[in-house]
Amino acid sequence: MKINSVFPAIVAVLGLVILSSSCTVVRQGEFGVKRRFGRFSDDVYTSGLRPFNPFTSTIIKISGQTENLEVALNIPSQEGLTIQSEVSILYRVVKKDAPDLLRTVGLDYEETIILPVFRSAVADITSKYYAKDMHSGNRAVIEVAIRDLMAKTLTDKGILIENVLLKSIALPKNLTKAIEDKLEAEQQAQRMEFILQQEKQEAERKRIQATGERDANKIISEGLSEQVLQFKALDAWLKLSMSPNSKVIITNGTVPMVMDPGGSGIK
């Protein structure tokens, strides 16, 4: 009786073990490819619970998300310098090409094809540019050129290169100093140009001011006729006559000079 009661439990446990070993979960962002008797199926599974026969098959899972492969390497420049750099390769596996990638390359596709193709593309592209170009606007051009060259080889393998990013560029110290000196000289030249421009503007302002004063004096001198001077003298005498202070007026008939008896003299 005891054996009969234990046997169903054993069968149930064995069934659960066999059932659990014949299913796998493909997570979101993963691809699953069934391999049966060593041959990969053309079907690609996406996220979910996927059953298979554990005695004849297995499901190989690879990432379908964008992956960031970081590489530190020395890159050459056109003038023959060696530049230390850290590079990020952003790539992803194309779903429909996942079975062929596993058949022809295997799971170690980063080491097998991505890195060798990347190193070759970097050497081909950066050797066409000067070291200083990698710190300028040409940096983005270099990144795109490396990406496009890699894509020519890897797209047919089922790997899409989304971007190549030169995260850090460490130029030789002597070259860095030369670039810094050049930038400083350019800034000084720009400051001097600004100062010269200010001086020119100030000189132009003074010239215009002097021209205005000259023209004003010319107009005044042209307007000071004998009649005007006599009128001004009469006007001054009139104002003096209305003053309550005692004054001695000496005149030549044209211009009055005032003597203040209690003051300091002529006004």
Residue 93 covered by a domain: yes
Residue 266 covered by a domain: no
Structure tokens at 161: 């290169």
State the pLDDT confidence band at 245, using cuts at 50, 70 and 90: low
Nearest 5 degrees, angle CA 115-CA 69-CA 63? 105
Of 16-20, 39-43, 174-178, highest mean pLDDT: 39-43
CA 37 – CA 266 distance, rounded (Å): 130
Residue 248 β-bridge partners: 259
> Hunting for tokens 């060259």 — which residue is that?
149
Residue ending a domain, choose from 16, 36, 63: 63
Counted residue by residue, the chain has a size of: 267
Q: Using one digit for the tens of pLDDT, what is the confidence trace for 185-200?
A: 777 788 888 888 888 8
Residue 162 covered by a domain: yes
Question: 30: domain range?
Answer: 2-63
What local confidence, expressed as pLDDT, does residue 19 receive? Answer: 47
Q: Using one digit for the tens of pLDDT, what is the confidence trace for 115-143?
A: 999 999 999 999 898 887 877 778 889 99
The CATH number covering residue 96 comes to 3.30.479.30
Residue range 248-259: average pLDDT?
56
Helix H, strand E, coil C: the string for 245-263 is CCCEEEECCCCEEEECCCC
End-to-end CA distance of the chain: 147
Collapsed DSSP state (helix, strand, coil) of residue 79: coil
Collapsed DSSP state (helix, strand, coil) of residue 29: coil
State yes or no: pLDDT of 171 exceeds 90.
no
More confident site: 114 or 27? 114
From the number of C-beta atoms within 10 Å of its C-beta (0-12, 13-18, 19+), residue 235 rates as exposed
- What is the DSSP code (8-state) at residue 266? B
Residue 109 covered by a domain: yes
Same domain, 27 and 56: yes
State yes or no: pLDDT of 146 exceeds 90.
yes
Same domain, 126 and 45: no
Give how far Cα 4 sits from Cα of 1, 8, 12, 14, 214, Å. 5, 7, 13, 16, 130
Residue 36 covered by a domain: yes
Same domain, 59 and 71: no
Same domain, 99 and 111: yes
Same domain, 31 and 84: no
Residue 112 Cα to chain centre, angstroms: 34
Residue ending a domain, choose from 48, 63, 78: 63
Separate counts of helices (H) and strands (E) for the chain: 7, 10
Residue ending a domain, choose from 63, 82, 112: 63
List Cβ<8 Å contacts ≥24 apart for 201-206: none
Of 14-18, 55-59, 185-189, highest mean pLDDT: 55-59
Structural domains of the chain, count: 4
Residue 176 covered by a domain: no
State the pLDDT confidence band at 81, using cuts at 50, 70 and 90: confident
